[in-house]
């Protein structure tokens, strides 16, 4: 049973999630039905991932988790993921559309390593929890809660991760999730997964789908600003291109956030849809988007020199810029001597 089938079974047994956040509730729970996890275990699992992913696995072992990318030899991101310490190995979480490719590409490099992957998408499911009472709510449900960003608290059949933006992810076995979803307090706080997707977008956490795989290097998606790429750890796939740009090159593109008002007939822009300025000149592309309530939220990879311009989709929908929740180092956009 795969992740989407798991969710169909789980959600069919309870009342439908709320259609929008309740003003009375200070905690919201979203099924992560568009995400799934697989495990990497074995004596060489840390060494193997250190040579494949952009993050420093030594820091992952200390902090508990990290955002990361798996790149091709040219430094372009094939997939993005969160790496999580668990049970003397690691869990890797990706979106379901890129899930099989992520395992396949890592397995290609794994054949000469004492490490192996295990698809857990049919056994584990995740929940995103946010809101001003998120910590207090989780404190009543679990015996330990992570306090610092990226920290992980492990249990026998579940774990909790502290996510950027004062958020948490809870991953648990299917059996545990079924029991948890039966609780009234969980059902009352349940929202659709689009609300968590919106949280990732407005917190400027990029994600790569098949339509954008192999197109962008990590810095174009601001990965250096969220601790998802190491420039000091040594060799990994794509490292030469990525570090050369950081120390000797000039970055020309970056991730920005925007939104626009929707109508009843609006659909989310496609990945790769063009973004233009008021002169009809193409200045960027849509990386990902989602619609919640009456707004569509987007991440766009745009030319750095054009970030201050008014932006439009190529169907002339005007976009409203949203400030990034972190600061980009302007030195990245200046040619090094």
Are residues 186 and 54 part of one domain? yes
Task: Encode pLDDT of 235-267 as tens digits.
Answer: 999 999 999 999 989 999 999 999 999 988 788
CATH of the domain at 189: 3.30.1360.120
Examine residue 295 and state whether it is found in any structural domain, yes or no: yes
Burial of 110: CB neighbours in 10 Å, binned 0-12, 13-18, 19+: buried
pLDDT, position 270:
97
Shared domain for 177 and 258, answered yes or no, is no
7 lies in a domain? yes
Long-range CB contact pairs, 232-235, < 8 A, 24+:
232/56, 233/50, 233/56, 233/58, 234/50, 235/51
Task: Please check whether residues 263 and 198 belong to one and the same domain.
Answer: no
Domain check: are 198 and 256 in the same one?
no
191 and 270, same domain (yes or no)? no
Of 168, 183, 202, which marks where a domain is finished? 202
pLDDT of residue 3: 58
Residues 171 and 271 in one domain: no
Establish if 219 belongs to a structural domain: no
Q: What is the DSSP secondary structure assignment for residue 131, as one 8-state letter? A: S
**Residues 72-111 pLDDT 10s:** 999 999 999 999 999 999 999 999 999 999 999 999 989 8
Q: Do 151 and 290 have their domain in common?
A: no
Measured CA to CA, the distance from residue 87 to residue 286 in angstroms comes to 37
Q: Give residue 263's pLDDT.
A: 87
Do 188 and 286 belong together in one domain?
no
In a domain, 330, yes or no: no
Domain count, the chain: 2
Domain that holds residue 300: 252-322
Domain boundary among 187, 202, 217: 202
- At 28, list the tokens: 């919201």
Q: Note whether 296 and 196 are same-domain residues.
A: no
- pLDDT for 194 equals 95
Is 119 part of any domain?
yes
Residue 80 sits in the same domain as residue 142: yes
Token readout for 131 is: 């809101």
Question: CB–CB of 203/20 below 8 Å?
Answer: no
pLDDT at residue number 1: 37
Q: CA nearest 114: which of 49, 26, 197?
A: 49
What residues pair up with 253 in beta bridges, in sequence order? Answer: 303
Both 180 and 273 in one domain: the answer is no
Q: Per the domain annotation, does 72 fall within a domain?
A: yes
**Does a structural domain hold residue 127?**
yes
Question: Do 55 and 181 belong together in one domain?
Answer: yes
Please check whether residue 190 lies inside any domain of the structure: yes
Residue 316: left (phi > 0), alpha (psi -120 to 50), or beta? Answer: left
Digitized pLDDT (tens) for each residue of the chain, 337 residues in all:
355 678 888 888 888 887 777 767 899 999 999 999 999 999 999 999 999 999 999 999 999 999 999 999 999 999 999 999 999 999 999 999 999 999 999 999 898 889 999 999 999 999 999 999 999 999 999 999 999 999 999 998 999 999 988 899 999 999 999 999 999 999 999 999 999 999 999 999 999 999 999 999 999 999 999 999 999 998 999 999 999 999 989 999 999 999 999 988 788 999 999 999 999 999 999 999 999 999 999 999 999 999 999 999 998 899 999 999 999 999 999 887 6
């Amino acid at each position: 049973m795969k992740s989407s089938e798991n969710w169909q079974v789980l959600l069919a047994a309870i009342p439908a999630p709320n259609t929008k956040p309740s003003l009375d509730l200070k905690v919201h729970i979203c099924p992560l039905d568009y995400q799934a996890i697989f495990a990497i275990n074995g004596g060489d699992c840390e060494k193997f991932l250190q040579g494949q992913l952009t993050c420093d696995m030594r820091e992952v072992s200390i902090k508990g988790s990290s955002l990361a990318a798996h790149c091709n030899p040219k430094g372009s991101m094939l997939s993005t993921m969160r790496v999580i310490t668990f049970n003397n190995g690691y869990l890797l979480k990706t979106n379901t559309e890129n899930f099989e490719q992520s395992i396949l590409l890592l397995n290609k490099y794994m054949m000469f390593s004492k490490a192996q992957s295990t698809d857990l998408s049919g056994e584990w499911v995740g929940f995103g929890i946010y809101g001003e009472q998120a910590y207090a709510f989780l404190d009543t449900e679990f015996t330990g809660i992570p306090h610092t960003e990226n920290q992980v608290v492990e249990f026998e059949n579940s774990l909790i991760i502290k996510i950027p933006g004062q958020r948490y992810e809870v991953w648990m076995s299917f059996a545990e999730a079924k029991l948890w979803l039966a609780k009234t307090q969980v059902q009352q706080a349940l929202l659709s997964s689009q609300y968590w997707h919106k949280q990732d977008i407005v917190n400027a956490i990029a994600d790569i789908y098949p339509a954008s795989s192999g197109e962008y290097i990590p810095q174009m998606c601001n990965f250096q600003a969220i601790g998802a790429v190491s420039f000091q750890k040594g060799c990994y796939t794509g490292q030469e291109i990525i570090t050369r740009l950081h120390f000797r090159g000039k970055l020309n593109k970056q991730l920005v956030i925007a939104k626009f008002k929707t109508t009843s007939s609006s659909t989310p822009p496609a990945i790769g849809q063009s973004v233009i300025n008021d002169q009809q000149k193409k200045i960027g592309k849509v990386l990902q988007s989602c619609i919640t309530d009456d707004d569509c939220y987007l991440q766009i990879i745009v030319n750095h020199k054009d970030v201050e311009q008014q932006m439009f989709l190529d169907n002339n929908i005007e976009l409203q810029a949203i400030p990034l929740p972190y600061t980009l180092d302007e030195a990245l956009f200046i040619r090094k001597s």
